Amino acid sequence: MVHDIGGPIGFEVAAAAPDRVRSILLLNTIVAVDTFRRPWVMEPFAHRVLGRAWLTMAQAPVVFRTLMRTIGFGPGVPTKAVDAHLRLLLGEDDGRAFVRIMRSFERTVDKRRRYEAVLGFGDRPVRMLWGRKDTALPLRTYGVQARLAAGLDDLPTVPGKHFLQEDFPAEIATAVAALADR
Q: Residue 78 and residue 28: Cα distance in Å, rounded?
A: 21
User: Could you tell me which CATH class the domain 2-36+107-181 is placed in?
Assistant: alpha beta
Q: What is the pLDDT of residue 105?
A: 83
Beta strands in 20-175 (DSSP E): 24-29, 126-131, 157-158
What CA–CA distances, in Å, run from 98 to 10, 37, 41, 55, 148? 16, 17, 14, 10, 29
To 10 degrees, what angle do helices 109-119 and 6-16 make? 70
Q: What is the pLDDT of residue 71?
A: 94
**CB-CB neighbours of 50 under 10 Å:** 12
The answer to whether residues 29 and 3 touch, using CB atoms and an 8 Å cutoff, is: yes
pLDDT in tens, the chain (182 residues): 999 999 999 999 999 999 999 999 999 999 999 999 999 988 998 888 898 899 899 889 999 999 999 999 999 999 999 999 999 989 999 998 988 888 888 999 999 999 999 998 777 899 999 999 999 999 999 999 999 999 999 999 999 999 999 999 999 999 999 998 87
To 10 degrees, what angle do helices 96-104 and 48-58 make? 140
Q: Residue 10 and residue 24: Cα distance in Å, rounded?
A: 9
Classify the phi-psi angles of 59: left when phi > 0, otherwise alpha if psi is within -120 to 50, otherwise beta: alpha
**CB-CB neighbours of 176 under 10 Å:** 15
Give the closest residue to 22 by CA, choosing from 156, 134, 181. 181
Q: What is the pLDDT of residue 48?
A: 84
Q: What is the pLDDT of residue 181?
A: 86
Residues of the chain with CATH 3.40.50.1820: 2-36+107-181
3-state DSSP assignment of residue 131: strand
Half-sphere exposure of residue 135: CA atoms within 13 angstroms, side-chain side = 11
Q: Which amino acid is at 46?
A: A
Q: What is the pLDDT of residue 100?
A: 87
Supply the pTM of this predicted model.
0.92
